[in-house]
Homo-oligomer: A and B are copies of this chain.
């Protein structure tokens, strides 16, 4: 094991679309472990759109990142030193840790991964926060019924791709909105979506949606906000449900510039529901969601895609890719190989 450690700091808050210079790499030592601590070598780390919100100073649903402090997020790692009886060297674990090559933490801060029949990275995608986000948002708020029409924005993303597939499992008609022809082909040919719409090349999104949703829209799983959502909202059926999961089109806009048609008249006419949520609202039901997702996965009913960038030095670029639509499925960074080659 090397004793070289490195971390990525938030050097300054982004003003608009984030750029590489908001990040800074810093070399740090690896401290001696205290009792009950373990040293976790980062194997994979997750970059996620919600992190953009935490880079602002204002209150969001999680605390903002501090300037000049390391960024944290979901990480899969391997125990390389242990002063805890709970975890031994070679164990694979998951936790919310700093963006560092190594994290020395209390054993209780990480969770051991027991199921070794799926690739490690799946714990950051389909079986991780994004899979659970899709599961609870669609099933608890959306409540799809057989024959209903479900529209998903950012449909080829880590959450959207799972939303669409669960909706198909539940017997719905599924229309996905995404931003490249490659993604549309992936939705229609690989994931079984009934229709994909490329919002970047479609001149009249409204009309394309009308054609793709001849019976209107019963559920809109909203990952983006902005003008795409304006168009979908105009097609709502009575008693439609909108799980509000992301507003990536607003994350980078400054305050009150984000104007659009007011939603109230349409929501009132159709008696529809919008509900914002984050996955941790469902913390107490994670086991249920995890189990059903794992079942669907093992039955071949769920496919997932990962865009895995190689190398800790490329974490900033992997994060920036989230805002340029370059990733298909869950964007991850592979930081190190497992040392335990038997695994």
**Residue positions of A touching B, CB distance < 8 A:** 53, 59-61, 222, 225-226, 229, 238, 244-247, 250-251, 256, 258-265, 267-278, 281
Contacts and interface: CB of A to CB of B under 8 A. Distances in A.
Contacts of A276: 264, 267-273
A281 B272 CA distance: 12
B61 A271 contact: yes
10 closest residue pairs by CB, A with B: A225-B264, A268-B276, A267-B276, A247-B264, A273-B275, A250-B265, A271-B276, A260-B262, A247-B265, A274-B274
A267 B226 CA distance: 14
A273 B274 contact: yes
A93 B83 CA distance: 81
A181 B159 CA distance: 50
A90 to B, nearest CB: 39
A259 B260 contact: yes
Contacts of A260: 259-260, 262
Main SS at interface, chain A: mixed
Given A268-B276, A273-B275, A226 B262 contact: yes
A16 to B, nearest CB: 15
Contacts of A275: 267, 271-274
Contacts of A270: 61, 276
9 contacts: A61-B268, A229-B262, A244-B267, A244-B268, A247-B262, A259-B261, A260-B262, A272-B275, A272-B276
B271 A278 contact: yes
A264 B61 contact: no
A265 B98 CA distance: 26
B273 A281 contact: no
Contact of A274 (B225, B258, B267): B267
Contacts of A238: 61
Most buried by B among A260, A273, A276: A276
B258 A259 contact: no
B269 A262 contact: no
Most buried by B among A222, A246, A274, A278: A274
Most buried by B among A226, A258, A262: A262
Given A272-B275, A274-B274, A256 B265 contact: no
A263 B265 contact: no
A281 B277 contact: no
Most buried by B among A61, A229, A245: A61
A264 B220 CA distance: 13
A264 B60 contact: no
Given A229-B262, A250-B265, 15 more contacts: A53-B269, A60-B269, A61-B238, A61-B271, A225-B264, A225-B265, A247-B268, A251-B265, A260-B262, A263-B263, A263-B274, A267-B276, A271-B281, A272-B275, A273-B273
